[in-house]
Amino acid sequence: MPGPAATEQVLVPPLRQDLLTDATRRLVLIAMLVAFVASVGLVFSLVELSAGRGEPQTWVRMGAAIWMLSLAGLAAIGLRGRRLTPRQMRMVGTAFLMVLAVSSGLVRHLVAQGDSLAGTVPGIAVAVMLFPVLVPGTPRRAAFNGLAATAVDVAAYAALATAGLVPAADLWQMVATFRADLVATAVAYGIAHVVSSLEERVVEARRMGAYTLNRRLGAGAMGEVWTASHSHLARPAAVKLIRTDRVDDPFAREGMEKRFEREVQATAALRCPHTIEIYDFGVTADGSLYYVMELLEGSDLQRLVDGEGRQPVARVVHMCRQICASLAEAHEAGLVHRDIKPANIFVCTYGRERDFVKVLDFGLVKVAAPEQAGLTMVGAITGTPAYMAPEQTVDGRAVDGRADVYALGLLAHFMLTGRLIFGDLAPAAYLAAQRNRTPPRLEDAGVEVPSALQDLIGECLAKGRDDRPPTMDAVAERLEAIAAELPRWPPRAT
């Protein structure tokens, strides 16, 4: 389940969250810049001392430079590569601002004194104005940070005046000296207010019914997937968003809307725990389609095999049995998935269960009912070539559940060998191979499996659908018998 950072996303407005996501990197760059400036100041101080022109102010400047160089260096090293929560990011940013205020205040008051001091623009004023963008927060927080930095600047001046290093100033001199800090605070408040106003617009634009989009997980040519939070519930969710405005053809757009609605309704009607759960769906103000589903923690099969290579036989059988459970219910309801492939099989930790499989994306589902037959568009893509059944490559409207059986055979072969069954081919070549080429046996790829599993995969990959197992339940029964002869999966925790 989501960790602390994911939980806090629910509490942070989207625009501020987007800015905070990159705030660590920006702070590291600023720390490196401060370290560079401090290094230059240290060099100049050393040059003055070596030339015999050292004064008390030179020693103070050198001390401040060493202090800033040390802190900025530690900050750059400590923050590099770290992912902080928004709360931690604000705390670190505020602490860095205060240290910068006291150090730059000491140097500023020593370098420029009296009337010349009143005409300078302190570096802390620039930092205060930039802070709401670097580490975004509320206008009140921006004002608090600005006033705190001003107070620190005043305290630095008072300490120097008490030590006799700078002359004491009267009230008007004090106002002239620190007016830039106060103006910077007002500007920072205004910047934070603008950011907050933009946040309101972003929140409205990212609101999908009772859900608000937080962070984008992925995007394709037409769709996006986001993490989302509910306005009242703490339950995390994922939102699939389809942008119909990117389709110019009104007939194609209408077909897309119907297929999207069909996907949602088909998936929501299924109750198998191995099928992704749908919470809500609808249409946004700009006409985009969306549905809300459970947010899973894990990896799809494509990334899993790409990262780990070929999978153990027991694990493959374990996952295929779960896929069978999901598809058996779908077929019983008259639904054919038609796009079973590694990217649509998600392996996660579900409660206390490991290697729990969820079947995703029923976007190409075929509803096997007469009144729905007209929804499949002529020429529409009805699958992924590397995982399409032979009959699917000829007429996507003529498939039944045995097309998913064929795809399951391809999927099992991919998991056991770590590569596509016919290698890397162009899409058109793959369509021809699915129709005409004999699938290689697993032993030809150097993979040893029980003969019963080899026979089952071979039958699933039969070119004629009448030669395949008739149902997913039939496949599941044979997998159950095979699993009984294999080591337990997942292995017991030790």
Three-class HEC string of the chain:
CCCHHHHHHCCCCHHHHHHHHCHHHHHHHHHHHHHHHHHHHHHHHHHHHHCCCCCHHHHHHHHHHHHHHHHHHHHHHHHCCCCCCHHHHHHHHHHHHHHHHHHHHHHHHHHCCCHHHHCCCCHHHHHHHHHHHHCCCCHHHHHHHHHHHHHHHHHHHHHHHHCCCCCCCCHHHHHHHHHHHHHHHHHHHHHHHHHHHHHHHHHHHCEECCEEEEEEEEECCCEEEEEEEECCCCCCEEEEEECHHHCCCHHHHHHHHHHHHHHHHHHHCCCCCCECCEEEEEECCCCCEEEEEECCCEEEHHHHHHHHCCCCHHHHHHHHHHHHHHHHHHHHCCEECCCCCHHHEEEEEECCEEEEEEECCCCCCEECCHHHHHHCCCCCCCCCHHHCCHHHHHCHHHCCHHHHHHHHHHHHHHHHHCCCCCCCCCHHHHHHHHHHCCCCCHHHHCCCCCHHHHHHHHHHCCCCHHHCCCCHHHHHHHHHHHHCCCCCCCCCCC
Rank 109-113, 132-136, 233-237, 445-449 by mean pLDDT and report only the highest.
445-449
Average the pLDDT over each of 220-224, 253-257, 355-359, 364-368 and give the range with the smallest value.
364-368
pLDDT value of residue 254: 75
pLDDT value of residue 86: 66
Share of the chain above pLDDT 70, in %: 79
Say whether pLDDT at 4 is over 60: no
The chain-wide mean pLDDT, for the chain, equals 80
Distance separating alpha carbons of residues 370 and 367, to the nearest angstrom: 9
pLDDT value of residue 117: 46
Confidence of residue 74 (pLDDT cuts 50, 70, 90): confident
Tell me whether domains 208-294 and 298-483 share a fold: no
User: How do residues 278-310 score in pLDDT, each as one tens digit?
Assistant: 888 887 777 778 889 999 999 999 999 999 999
pLDDT value of residue 247: 66
pLDDT value of residue 209: 73
Higher pLDDT, 341 or 138: 341
pLDDT value of residue 439: 94
Higher pLDDT, 13 or 321: 321
Confidence of residue 139 (pLDDT cuts 50, 70, 90): confident
User: How do residues 157-213 score in pLDDT, each as one tens digit?
Assistant: 888 788 777 777 776 777 777 888 888 889 989 888 887 776 666 555 566 778 888
Rank 147-156, 213-222, 372-381, 442-451 by mean pLDDT and report only the highest.
442-451
Taking the domains of the chain in order of start, what are their residue ranges? 4-202, 208-294, 298-483
Distance separating alpha carbons of residues 323 and 274, to the nearest angstrom: 7
Say whether pLDDT at 422 is over 90: yes
Say how many CA atoms lie within 13 Å of 89 toward its Cβ. 29
The domain 298-483: what is its CATH number? 1.10.510.10
Confidence of residue 382 (pLDDT cuts 50, 70, 90): low
Rank 4-13, 292-301, 387-396, 406-415 by mean pLDDT and report only the highest.
406-415
pLDDT value of residue 8: 36
Higher pLDDT, 14 or 190: 190
What's the mean pLDDT in 452-466? 96
pLDDT value of residue 450: 96
Distance separating alpha carbons of residues 103 and 97, to the nearest angstrom: 10
User: How do residues 86-100 score in pLDDT, each as one tens digit?
Assistant: 677 778 778 878 877
Pick the CATH number of 208-294 from 3.20.20.70, 3.30.200.20, 2.70.98.10, 3.50.50.60: 3.30.200.20
Say whether pLDDT at 21 is over 70: no
What's the mean pLDDT in 447-452? 95
pLDDT value of residue 220: 72
**Annotated catalytic residue within 280, 339, 361, 404:** 339
Neighbouring C-beta atoms of residue 83, cutoff 10 Å: 9
Say whether pLDDT at 336 is over 80: yes
Say whether pLDDT at 17 is over 60: no
What's the mean pLDDT in 27-55? 76
Q: What does DSSP say about strands 335-336 and 353-359: parallel, antiparallel, or unpaired?
A: unpaired
pLDDT value of residue 119: 44
Say whether pLDDT at 20 is over 90: no
pLDDT value of residue 91: 80
Residue 212 pairs in a beta bridge with 207, 229
Preceding peptide of 490 cis, ω within 30°: yes
Whether 339 is catalytic is yes
Q: Provide Rg for the chain, Cα atoms.
A: 32
